[in-house]
Amino acid sequence: MRKSARKSRATKVKPQDYAVVVFAEDMEQAKEYEAALKADSIPVFILEPEESDEPDKGIAVMVPEDFIDEASVIVESQNIYDDLYELGMEEEQFDDSDFDDEIF
């Protein structure tokens, strides 16, 4: 029932009611945020830099103001997941040849 309540709210949202939840570095990252938000039935709009008033900040990922808190949690969890993924990639590149095998 929760998702149906969200969908009914989403149909009443006007474009001017959207707020920036995050600025993405590139379109690929913006699409990742969009997919994560849509997976939780949150309406999302991507404002490309040439359309934005502040192109220096990146690509604006926007959601209705009513969803901003929920969207912020989703974006933050996506950022944590990305950080963990990058950390795992860095560990794979770790070169253990500097350790002395005699110790082990």
Query: What are the pLDDT digits (tens) for 17-56?
Result: 899 999 998 999 999 999 999 999 999 999 887 654 555 6
Residue 17 phi, psi (nearest 5): -90, 0
Mean pLDDT (the chain) is 75
Name the least confident of 13-17, 23-27, 68-72.
13-17
| Alpha helix ranges (H) inside 1-104 | 2-10, 27-39, 68-92
Q: What is residue 34's predicted lDDT score, i.e. its pLDDT?
A: 95
Kindly report the number of other CB atoms within 10 A of residue 45's CB atom. Answer: 14
**Chain centroid to CA 92: how far?**
25
- The full set of domain ranges for the chain reads 9-93
33 burial via Cβ count (<10 Å: 0-12, 13-18, 19+)? buried
